[in-house]
Amino acid sequence: MPLTALLHCNDLYMTQSLAGIDGYAKGWVIAILRDRHIVWRTCGIHDLESELKDLDVIGIDIPIHLVKKGWRTCDLEAKTAMGKAGSRVFMTPPKAVLELGFATPNDEVQALSVELTGKGVSRQAMALAERVLAVNALLPDSRLYEVFPELVFAALDGAVLPSKKTATGAGARMRALDPWLTTLGTSCALLMKQCPKDVPVDDALDAIAALAGALRISNGVAHRWPTRGNVPTIWA
């Protein structure tokens, strides 16, 4: 997508504070854009609320707005949008399943998941339960948008990128972000140097992509799945 579609209104740089958030092992990594400068913050899983007080639009890579039964339409549509890389989409189980927590015996978790969705749930999904519930406890908050970095990168580059766990994938993500970042007088390489040392490269890149998603939302050029309705929505 052309750079102008991302930077539709430069005045936003001066009037709004935007953030992109991704999870990492110790909690959350936050990329904040204010006055044309990007700075980093990190915090624990349950310490996010205090970090959001001075922000206007927040893109976060975590499921928000949970359902009571079945699968979220936004997850199913995002999986389709990702094509052959659809397995990268996190299928969010109903709230009651997540509330059982990772420590609950797996047989009990799977039984409730099958009852509510017709299918089981991955242990990887349950490992994120505490994190998902912590963010959803902050709702309602009109500043919070669920952003999927993989679809942001696809929007910026024009195609779904290789796995972020590979050197090729990391390089492709930096290439997709740099045209925008250079307008701010920075680059992915420089931002990586400034990022807290305990944050992995892929999580830092996802936070910047979530920030780009927040900017796209503010500019009115973001895509959303599903395309309309007051329902759980993924943005990019």
What's the pLDDT at 21?
98
Confidence of residue 11 (pLDDT cuts 50, 70, 90): low
What is the DSSP secondary structure assignment for residue 10, as one 8-state letter?
T
Tell me the C-alpha to C-alpha distance, in Å, between residue 7 and each of 35, 61, 160, 188, 192.
14, 21, 21, 17, 22
Confidence of residue 175 (pLDDT cuts 50, 70, 90): very high
pTM score: 0.93
Roughly how many angstroms between the first and final C-alpha of the chain, as a whole number? 12
Q: Can you read off the two tokens belonging to residue 204?
A: 């830092």
- Which domains does the chain show, CATH number per domain? 3-66+139-235 (3.30.420), 86-136 (no CATH)
Q: What is the mean pLDDT of the chain?
A: 94
Q: What percent of the chain has pLDDT over 70?
A: 94
Q: What is the mean pLDDT of residues 212-231?
A: 96
What are the tens digits of pLDDT across the range 73-96? 999 999 999 999 999 998 999 999
Closest CA to 191 of 60, 58, 29, 54: 29
What's the pLDDT at 10?
52
What's the pLDDT at 14?
57
What are the tens digits of pLDDT across the range 16-42? 999 999 999 999 999 999 999 999 999
What's the pLDDT at 13?
57
Residue 12 confidence (pLDDT) above 60: no
Residue 3 confidence (pLDDT) above 80: no
Other beta carbons within 10 angstroms of residue 165's beta carbon come to 11
Residue 2 confidence (pLDDT) above 80: no
The radius of gyration of the chain from alpha carbons, rounded to an integer in Å, stands at: 17
Alpha carbons 149 and 170: distance in angstroms, whole number: 13
Residue 206 near residue 199 (C-beta atoms within 8 A): no
Closest CA to 30 of 63, 53, 4, 6: 53
Q: What is the mean pLDDT of residues 135-158?
A: 97
What's the pLDDT at 15?
78
* Contacts for 23 with CB less than 8 Å, ≥ 6 apart: 29, 45, 61, 62, 128, 131, 203
Residue 8 confidence (pLDDT) above 80: no
